[in-house]
Amino acid sequence: MLGTGLIKISVFGLAGAVTAQVLAFALLIGGMAVPGAFLAKAFVERMPVHIHAAILDVAVITGGLVMISAALKQLVAQGMTRLGSVIPNFAMMASCP
At 47-84, the pLDDT tens digits run: 999 999 999 999 999 999 999 999 999 888 887 666 55
Selection from 11, 7, 9 nearest residue 24 by Cα: 9
Total domain count for the chain? 2
Question: Whole domain around residue 73: which residue ranges?
Answer: 48-97
* Residues 78, 40 share a domain: no
* Residues 57, 30 share a domain: no
Percent of the chain having pLDDT more than 70?
80
pLDDT at 8 over 70: yes
* Residues 92, 52 share a domain: yes
* Residues 54, 35 share a domain: no
Selection from 19, 28, 34, 25 nearest residue 9 by Cα: 19
As a whole number of angstroms, the distance between CA 88 and CA 97 comes to: 16
Q: Which residues of 27-46 are buried (b: 16+ CB within 10 A; e: fewer)?
A: eeeeeeeeeeeeeeeeeeee
* Residues 41, 60 share a domain: no
* Residues 39, 6 share a domain: yes
